[in-house]
Chain A
Amino acid sequence: MGVSASNTETARRTISRVLVANRGEIARRVFATCESLGIATVAVYSEPDAEAPFVLDADEAVPLGGVAPAESYLRAEAVIEAAVRTGADAIHPGYGFLAENAAFARAVQAAGLIWIGPPPDAIEAMGSKVRARSMMEQAGVPVLPGAELSSGSDTSAEAERVGFPLLVKASAGGGGKGMRVVGEASGLAPAVEGAQREALGAFGDDTVFLERYLEHPRHIEIQVFADSHGNVVSLGERECSIQRRHQKVVEESPSPAVDPELRERIGAAAVAAAEAVGYEGAGTVEFLLGDDGEFFFLEMNTRLQVEHPVTELVTGLDLVRLQLQVAAGGELPPAARQATLRGHAIEVRLYAEDPAADFLPQTGVIGSIHLDGAVPFCPPSASRGEDEGAILRLDSGIEDGSVVSPHYDPMLAKVIAWAPSREHAATLLASALRAAELHGLINNRDFLVRTLGHPAFLAGETDTGFIGRHPELSEPLLGVADLPVYAVAAALAGMGHRGREQRATGGIGLAPSGFRNNPSAPQRVEMIFGGERREIAYGLSRGEIEASVGGEALEGVVLHDEAPYPWPLDLEADGVRRRYTVATYGDDIYVNSPRGQAHLQLAPRYPGSEEAAAEGALVAPMPGKVIKLMVGAGDPVEAGQPVAVLEAMKMEHELTAPATGVLTELRVEVDQQVDSGAVLGVIEAAEPAD
């Protein structure tokens, strides 16, 4: 407890204007607390973020210019200059970008500004994994065997010493960037090479770190908080075991695997870790928890975590507010020093990514994001009320019409539920997500709903192998067999929409929809779903509705309501009555019901003019930069053979040959930026063997 207590010269200062050196939901999160405290806010933003909600939320905003992080949010000088220009007296770094950059923290302080984060020395100490490990070992915190690779290291020897399976990861930074699992020696070299490249790209430092890899551990982390008055406290654990590609997907507090005795021990280890580096402010000490209750120090994140809301909801503490208080030299309040965990909170991260296509990130425009009853950045104290009412919280950086660009993380929002029990929280969160309107981009919502309702999840069996063990999680909530009634709802809504427009014009527009005195065919529309073009036939005849999909009639279709075209549609079919809301964006149609969301595409009524992509075309699945080409023009290729590597959304994506044959055309070079759908090359298929 001695390290932080030595910092006695800290004087109380006042924070009246905070600049957030970050973007998206975390910027909005910080602004929300500032606003509640009457503190003025300043945003900085890159070119693609000029219209982003967080920029409009702030009292003032300063453009940084640039597109890539290196040209915008990572420009430390420009950020400090923005603070000086606007008269901000403190900088909050959020997470990512400059949050764990000690040099930046020092520069902020040197400019006479308050750094809302830990002391730069602590960042530095924890920033180097090797140094952190040895400090932790000295402090008596259990660690996993590992080794850092700098230039000149004997990679194989180090790997042997650590033991397989092992993890290769960037020394700097956190999150999943540059992480790779290597099962045996043969896979070591390419993994190290890849990790170095990504580390260099993301953090400007290609040092990588090898570490023993536990097969299916749980990921348990302790939220610690320290002030400059010698107080270091644990605010309990979060379990973040459900991950894919080392990115957390579901986070909760408390962990079903942690009992009070274990909580006490891990908490003490985390406090010891924080004290060892003279920590102040909010930090997270991550541990791996084995089946046997043994835990190992993984790393310490010297910042506010993405998943901080679950801790907020179970402790009732506003962690951003505590950060501001501590940064101003204040002492942690009694509520924080004597925090207890109450009820249960679960957070899920909504990503624009396709679970059916190996979680491929998606970019584009969000049509609508709407969760009934969700409170944006809701004050954590709400969970401390007398009533045991549940809470739904939405921390989102986007709003209807926002653009998800390829330049940043594709996280759309965090949705957090608090309830007295874990099962209650999981059920509430699942049903809210299921009914949510999330239009515009393919996302992992269905995946999250399936996860939250999975018997293994509800039983608390949530180690890091959870997603890998349960491929059924990637199944959409609504299967193709469920979709016909949604397609009919969409067709009837379309009819209603056109009917309203036509009636407004009067005259012949007042004729009944699709009127025929000699009826030869029903009204029709074609939609694409389940990968097929299907005809939806519908019609109103003397008050009766008939509808069929792909030639199969729906039984007992009734539109309940006085109005001819009610909204939302109160539609009965096959003996079940439900409310459907229908939204269209160009040819994309979204139909929501309490059962989930269906995405349908209106097929062109007069197809044929669009030229299809050539067969054998190697098409970029998303915008990105070509960083590697494995074959050249004229080379023979096998179907499935890796041909190129595309870097997009901060991830490397391998593109494989769509067919066996010869790469007759190569249209790109390394380092070339390409758009989604761009043809990178053409493979002329070999003649079939028979």
Chain B
Amino acid sequence: MLQTRIDTGSATYAENREKMLERLIKLDEQLEKARLGGGEAKIERHHGRGRMLPRERIELLLDRDAPFLELAPLAAYGSEYEVGASFVAGIGVVEGVECMISASDPTVRGGTSNPYTLRKSLRMQEIARVNRLPTVGFVESGGADLPRQKEIFVPGGATFRNLTQASAAGVPTVALVTGNSTAGGAYLPGMSDYTVMVKEQGLIFLGGPPLVKMATGEEAEEEALGGAEMHSRTSGVSEFMAADEVDLCRIGREIVRNLNWRKRGPESRGAGEEPLHDPEELLGIASHDLRIPFDAREVIARLVDGSRFDEFKPSYGTQLVTGWAELFGYPVGILANNGVLFNEDAEKAAHFIQLADQVDTPLLFLQNTTGYIVGTDYERRGIVKAGAKMINAVANTGVPKLTLMMGGSYGAGNYGMCGRSFEPRFVFAWPNYKTAVMGPKQLAGVMEIVMRGGAERRGIEVDEEQLAAAKQAVEEQIESESDAFVSSGEMWDDGMIDPRDTRAVLGIALAAAHGAEVRGSRQFGVFRM
């Protein structure tokens, strides 16, 4: 049972909390932007046509009181496109089944796909595939954002390949058509296992009336060309015709109920008691200044069931905390940074990951590291080999991995602690997190040294003013690029979360990860290091 040593009366705690609350206000603002989609006027017009907003549709599809974990809600933050990328997606429970639910947002540029929309939807398909989550999508999209078609058209084909490959892999796909589904969009319902169309609202055609007119001269009428009646009675493109959107959700639920879905991972086994310590305190625990370390055990104590944590190798490699716990009743192995990674920490990590593989236990990485230690002594002792062992283990483990960014994520530390490239099932980030190849000051400092060295070799006098300006510029650039909001906008994580929601978010993600078989890789016995 983890004890806490936090002093909630300390100045550090108060400052951390204050700064975190500032970041959370910004998070709320951005989430509200995402919810507002195309803005109030567009929403009013959409409602005026008797149609629901994407989240209203999702709400009605979900079981009563069921959770919905919205993924990548800040996608496209910092880009020319609206926050959220005109596409809502997440994990929710329908008829007791954890599903990947998505809905295009027709209030944003008619629900057209921009490059961010495409990246988001491909990521959602990937999540559905690897975690074996049946997908239910509300389709109402004007297709590709034509001015950006070159970035979308060719890679966008993967959307359709993914749909049918999911189907082939035994992960069902359901399309609920609430509006236009034209051209390439026609293949969204087309490639789904089940398609439902709303009467006098859903439309599916390869070419709409204008294109038909251009192509063949035929004067086609919309409903006759691709309406719900026609597709439900004549073409058979639609399996069910819904009287309205409410009926659509009813039918969608009926379809999911009849999937007779069984998750392939083991059931949760524990009672899943709440942690003993208050998650509210995470706001004051997470460092605002990433140079100030904090004890990851304080986070674990506010995250896992009953605050129970059995630490592995506690006296060896003490910059990395490893151990066993349960989250939402599922056993989990945790690796958490308490600072920079030394040789011993890296080797302990590799050892621990192998142990998790041996007993098919999922892994949770809690990242807060400036990376692997540098210096002659450590190089002589083979820090590169030690780091390689850790990265090797992380990359090749067979068990599901979850990653939480709770502070710094720099250098190869991002890799060794299972950053996005190492295919964790989910990555979530706190608003205080920063990621870059190295810290902005270090990077600027390195740049200065390199520049001075170059000038020296060439025998040129260093322009101190120019160098200072360049140093400041790069520092600012890195500082802004490493910002959590920018990272989240680029979808380097699956969502920025309020630290107080960490248990719920990771619990839902871990439950979803059990949709697929949980099996470690076992090529050799465990190498002790």
Q: Interface of A with B (CB < 8 Å)? A: 494-495, 498-499, 502-503, 505-508, 510-518, 520-521, 523-525, 542, 605-609
Given A514-B66, A517-B505, A518-B70: A608 and B329 interface contact (C-beta under 8 Å): no
| Partner-contacting stretch, out of B228-236, B263-271, B462-470 | B263-271
Using Cβ atoms and an 8 Å threshold, which residues of chain B touch A494?
Answer: 64
Does B272 lie within 8 Å of A606, measured CB to CB?
A: no
Given A508-B508, A514-B65: A542 and B246 interface contact (C-beta under 8 Å): no
| Partner-contacting stretch, out of B155-163, B169-177, B189-197, B493-501 | B493-501
Does B55 lie within 8 Å of A507, measured CB to CB?
A: no
Does B501 lie within 8 Å of A507, measured CB to CB?
A: no
A582 to chain B, nearest CB (A): 15
Does A520 lie within 8 Å of B243, measured CB to CB?
A: no
Contact of B507 among A495, A498, A508, A606 (CB under 8 A): A508
Contact of B501 among A495, A502, A517, A609 (CB under 8 A): A517
Cα–Cα, bound, A606→B514 (Å): 31
Q: Is B56 an interface residue (CB 8 A)?
A: yes
Minimal Cβ-Cβ distance residue in B for A512: B504
Contact of B272 among A506, A516, A517 (CB under 8 A): A506
Cα–Cα, bound, A580→B68 (Å): 30
- 7 tightest A-B CB contacts, nearest first: A506-B268, A606-B250, A515-B67, A508-B511, A511-B67, A520-B55, A507-B268
Using Cβ atoms and an 8 Å threshold, which residues of chain A touch B512?
Answer: 508
Additional A-B contacts beyond A506-B268, A511-B328, A515-B69 (20; CB < 8 A) = A498-B64, A506-B272, A508-B93, A508-B98, A510-B328, A511-B67, A511-B511, A514-B65, A515-B504, A515-B508, A517-B70, A517-B497, A517-B498, A517-B501, A518-B70, A518-B73, A524-B59, A605-B60, A608-B243, A609-B250
Does A608 lie within 8 Å of B246, measured CB to CB?
A: yes
Using Cβ atoms and an 8 Å threshold, which residues of chain B touch A511?
Answer: 67, 328, 504, 507-508, 511
Q: Is B34 an interface residue (CB 8 A)?
A: yes
Using Cβ atoms and an 8 Å threshold, which residues of chain A touch B379?
Answer: none
Cα–Cα, bound, A495→B146 (Å): 46
Of A505, A506, A510, A516, most buried by chain B (CB within 10 Å of CB) is A510
Cα–Cα, bound, A520→B54 (Å): 10
Cα–Cα, bound, A607→B73 (Å): 31
Cα–Cα, bound, A503→B270 (Å): 11
Q: How large is the interface on B (under 10, 10 to 19, 20 to 34, 35 or more residues)?
A: 35 or more
Does A542 lie within 8 Å of B500, measured CB to CB?
A: yes
Cα–Cα, bound, A513→B67 (Å): 7
Chain B contact residues: helix, strand, loop or mixed: mixed
Does B73 lie within 8 Å of A503, measured CB to CB?
A: no
A193 to chain B, nearest CB (A): 52
Does A512 lie within 8 Å of B67, measured CB to CB?
A: yes
Minimal Cβ-Cβ distance residue in B for A508: B511
Q: Is B330 an interface residue (CB 8 A)?
A: yes
B310 to chain A, nearest CB (A): 20
Cα–Cα, bound, A87→B505 (Å): 73
A205 to chain B, nearest CB (A): 58
Q: Is B351 an interface residue (CB 8 A)?
A: no
Does B246 lie within 8 Å of A508, measured CB to CB?
A: no
The digit string for B230-259, where 1 denotes a CB below 8 A from any CB of A, is 000000000000011011011000000000
B376 to chain A, nearest CB (A): 46
Q: Is B31 an interface residue (CB 8 A)?
A: yes
Q: Is B18 an interface residue (CB 8 A)?
A: no
Interface residues of B in 296-340 (CB under 8 A from A): 328-330
Does B56 lie within 8 Å of A521, measured CB to CB?
A: yes
Does A506 lie within 8 Å of B67, measured CB to CB?
A: no
Of A512, A524, A542, most buried by chain B (CB within 10 Å of CB) is A512
Contact of A498 among B60, B65, B244 (CB under 8 A): B65
Minimal Cβ-Cβ distance residue in B for A542: B500
Q: Is B35 an interface residue (CB 8 A)?
A: yes
Q: Is B476 an interface residue (CB 8 A)?
A: no
Using Cβ atoms and an 8 Å threshold, which residues of chain A touch B498?
Answer: 517
Cα–Cα, bound, A521→B500 (Å): 20
Cα–Cα, bound, A496→B507 (Å): 20
Does B246 lie within 8 Å of A507, measured CB to CB?
A: no
Using Cβ atoms and an 8 Å threshold, which residues of chain B touch A525?
Answer: 64
Does A507 lie within 8 Å of B280, measured CB to CB?
A: no
Of B68, B93, B498, most buried by chain A (CB within 10 Å of CB) is B68
Given A506-B267, A507-B268, A511-B504: A606 and B249 interface contact (C-beta under 8 Å): yes
Using Cβ atoms and an 8 Å threshold, which residues of chain B touch A523?
Answer: 64-65
Using Cβ atoms and an 8 Å threshold, which residues of chain B touch A514?
Answer: 65-67
Cα–Cα, bound, A494→B64 (Å): 10
Cα–Cα, bound, A513→B68 (Å): 10
Does B69 lie within 8 Å of A606, measured CB to CB?
A: no
Using Cβ atoms and an 8 Å threshold, which residues of chain A touch B31?
Answer: 518
Contact of B329 among A502, A506, A542 (CB under 8 A): A506
B441 to chain A, nearest CB (A): 32
A497 to chain B, nearest CB (A): 10
Contact of A510 among B35, B267, B500, B507 (CB under 8 A): B507
Using Cβ atoms and an 8 Å threshold, which residues of chain B touch A513?
Answer: 65
Does B268 lie within 8 Å of A608, measured CB to CB?
A: no
Cα–Cα, bound, A426→B512 (Å): 60
The digit string for B200-211, where 1 denotes a CB below 8 A from any CB of A, is 000000000000
Cα–Cα, bound, A588→B16 (Å): 50
Using Cβ atoms and an 8 Å threshold, which residues of chain A touch B35?
Answer: 518, 520
B242 to chain A, nearest CB (A): 10
B101 to chain A, nearest CB (A): 13
Does A608 lie within 8 Å of B247, measured CB to CB?
A: yes
Cα–Cα, bound, A518→B55 (Å): 10
Using Cβ atoms and an 8 Å threshold, which residues of chain B touch A524?
Answer: 59
Given A506-B328, A512-B504: A520 and B247 interface contact (C-beta under 8 Å): no
B374 to chain A, nearest CB (A): 37
Cα–Cα, bound, A601→B364 (Å): 45
Minimal Cβ-Cβ distance residue in A for B59: A521
Does B329 lie within 8 Å of A516, measured CB to CB?
A: no
Using Cβ atoms and an 8 Å threshold, which residues of chain A touch B267?
Answer: 506-507
B108 to chain A, nearest CB (A): 15
Cα–Cα, bound, A508→B508 (Å): 5
Given A507-B267, A525-B64: A517 and B495 interface contact (C-beta under 8 Å): yes
Does B328 lie within 8 Å of A507, measured CB to CB?
A: yes
Interface residues of B in 87-115 (CB under 8 A from A): 93, 96, 98
Using Cβ atoms and an 8 Å threshold, which residues of chain A touch B507?
Answer: 508, 510-511
Minimal Cβ-Cβ distance residue in B for A503: B272
Of A525, A605, A606, most buried by chain B (CB within 10 Å of CB) is A606
Cα–Cα, bound, A503→B511 (Å): 13
Contact of A518 among B34, B250, B271 (CB under 8 A): B34
Minimal Cβ-Cβ distance residue in A for B495: A517
Does B55 lie within 8 Å of A495, measured CB to CB?
A: no
Does A507 lie within 8 Å of B514, measured CB to CB?
A: yes
Minimal Cβ-Cβ distance residue in B for A521: B59
Of B67, B247, B511, most buried by chain A (CB within 10 Å of CB) is B67
Using Cβ atoms and an 8 Å threshold, which residues of chain B touch A499?
Answer: 65
Using Cβ atoms and an 8 Å threshold, which residues of chain B touch A607?
Answer: 246
Q: Could you jot down 21 A-B contacts, CB within 8 Å?
A: A502-B65, A503-B272, A505-B96, A506-B272, A506-B328, A507-B330, A507-B511, A510-B272, A511-B67, A511-B507, A514-B65, A516-B68, A518-B34, A520-B55, A520-B59, A523-B65, A524-B59, A606-B246, A606-B247, A606-B249, A609-B250
